[in-house]
């Protein structure tokens, strides 16, 4: 396997950024561990992201920043080492109260080989939004850090204003646009208004930003072809693969206990050799 270098990481970052501006929408699956990420790569996706909820819960922590930074980064690193396509890491809010703390996190994430990040603008513990100024400073500093390290890191700036801003639905929508615009102007590569599912608000948001917008797979989200028509640049899976996998295990457990059969466990399953191969790093080009 060719040696990992900053040069190859830079090229991956550039490729990942270009995927946000292609003729086709970027479909970005979120893995939660090594095998799930490899399954997505083997399926043919051009880039992979981590799922904060999926990954953290698989490690025994709730979604958020309860986990320590070192353990979190180590988990991202294990995923990065087995992939040949670009990897974007969901770093939650950045693991720190200050921009300096966030930069420590981003620097260690870049050292794993990841080329993108997703960063949130709210506190999981309180469900309160950070001030816009704080997140703008973070985005600007992250962009500067990427230049210093020689990796043009791709920043997906998420806002949860649609869920946690004050006021009615219209006020929250306006606040989401205000925040996304500020993050765009600070140097983000894509903005992510968590909670958009209906076509009309999605179209209005895309029109207002005139910039790559990310939406997440959830019940009610339009099909890929409709999202492309609406101008969405990127659709991420979020924790939906974890939901699906755990749903399968629940159905399989119920079937064995109640019926004494194993169809859910064996139908469509991969083999031992296929499973084992998912832990072997793919060659980097």
Taking 90 as the threshold, does the pLDDT of residue 5 lie above it? no
Domain contains 249? no
**pLDDT of the residue at 6:** 72
CA separation, residue 142 to residues 50, 81, 148, 228 (Å): 19, 23, 10, 29
Domain limits at 89?
A: 6-240
Residue 102 resides in a domain? yes
Domain-embedded: residue 104: yes
In a domain, 283, yes or no: no
pLDDT band of residue 3 (cuts 50, 70, 90) is: low
Separation in Å, CA 6 to CA 19, 46, 109, 139, 150: 20, 20, 13, 21, 7
- Position 255 in a domain: no
- pLDDT of the residue at 229: 97
- The DSSP call for residue 45 is -
28-84 pLDDT, tens per residue? 999 999 999 999 999 999 999 999 999 999 999 999 999 999 999 999 999 999 999
285 belongs to a structural domain: no
* CATH at 110: 3.20.20.60
Torsion of CA 66, 68, 74, 77, to 10 degrees: 60
Residue 262 lies in a domain: no
Reported pTM? 0.94
Is position 251 within any domain?
no
153-170 core/surface letters (b: 16 or more CB in 10 A; e: else): bbbbbbbbbbebbeeeee
Question: How many structural domains are present in the chain?
Answer: 1
Beta strands 128-129 and 87-90 are unpaired
What is the pLDDT at residue 268?
94
Quick check: 130 pLDDT over 60? yes
In this prediction, residue 1 carries a pLDDT of 39
187-242 residue pLDDT tens: 999 999 999 999 999 999 999 999 999 999 999 999 999 999 999 999 999 999 99
Average pLDDT over residues 252-277: 97
């Amino acid at each position: 396997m060719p040696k990992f270098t900053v040069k190859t990481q830079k090229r991956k970052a550039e490729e990942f950024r270009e995927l946000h501006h292609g003729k086709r929408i970027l479909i970005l699956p979120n893995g939660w561990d090594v095998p799930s990420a490899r399954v997505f790569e083997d399926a043919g996706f051009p880039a992979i992201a981590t799922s904060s909820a999926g990954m953290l819960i698989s490690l025994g922590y709730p979604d958020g920043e309860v986990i320590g930074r070192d353990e979190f980064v180590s988990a991202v690193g294990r995923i990065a080492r087995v992939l040949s396509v670009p990897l974007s890491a969901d770093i939650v809010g950045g693991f720190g109260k200050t921009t300096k703390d966030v930069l420590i996190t981003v620097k260690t994430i870049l050292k794993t080989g990841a080329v993108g990040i997703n960063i949130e603008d709210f506190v999981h513990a309180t469900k309160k939004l950070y001030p816009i100024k704080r997140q703008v400073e973070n985005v600007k500093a992250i962009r500067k850090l990427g230049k210093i390290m020689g990796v043009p890191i791709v920043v997906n700036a998420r806002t949860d204003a649609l869920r946690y801003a004050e006021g009615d639905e219209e006020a929250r929508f306006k606040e989401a646009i205000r925040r996304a615009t500020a993050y765009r102007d600070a140097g983000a590569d894509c903005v992510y208004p968590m909670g958009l599912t209906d076509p009309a608000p999605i179209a209005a948001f895309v029109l207002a930003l005139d910039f790559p917008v990310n939406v997440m797979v959830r019940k009610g989200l339009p099909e890929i072809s409709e999202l492309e028509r609406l101008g969405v640049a990127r659709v991420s899976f979020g924790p939906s693969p974890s939901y699906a996998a755990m749903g399968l295990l629940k159905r399989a457990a119920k079937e064995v206990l109640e019926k004494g059969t194993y169809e859910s466990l064996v139908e469509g399953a991969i083999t031992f050799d296929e499973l084992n191969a998912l832990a072997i790093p793919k060659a980097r080009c």
